[in-house]
Amino acid sequence: MGTQKQPPHPSGRVVSVRLPEELIQRLDALAERTQRSRGVYLRMALTAMLPHLESTHWHQQAAQYETDVLEAEFLRLTSQLFSDEDPGQSP
């Protein structure tokens, strides 16, 4: 008999991630000093950094699109230039 899938927890879904030992130790030390959970600081870090990461990714994608468009246009123009030349003339 198959297992029954549990509904999402009211406080949110669970995400698992592997972290370097040093980062876990620092996170645990902070959590212990402030009497808060790891999750509080992980949520704070993601909430603070995600907009920056999204923006950076968007700018990278836009820059790559511009590069691709410029390269395609350059190739179109140069191929048109060479195809318009008289075959009897040397470049």
Indicate the number of domains in the chain. Answer: 1
Whether 33 is covered by a domain: the verdict is yes
Whether 26 is covered by a domain: the verdict is yes
Q: What gap in Å lies between CA 39 and CA 30, rounded to an integer?
A: 12
Tens place of pLDDT per residue across the chain (91 aa): 556 777 777 888 888 999 999 999 999 999 999 999 999 999 999 999 999 988 888 888 888 888 888 888 888 888 888 876 655 555 5
Residue type at position 27: L
Whether 29 is covered by a domain: the verdict is yes
Q: Which residue has the tokens 């390269």?
A: 71
pTM of the predicted model, to two decimals? 0.56
Domain that holds residue 66: 21-83
Whether 30 is covered by a domain: the verdict is yes
Q: What gap in Å lies between CA 3 and CA 12, rounded to an integer?
A: 21
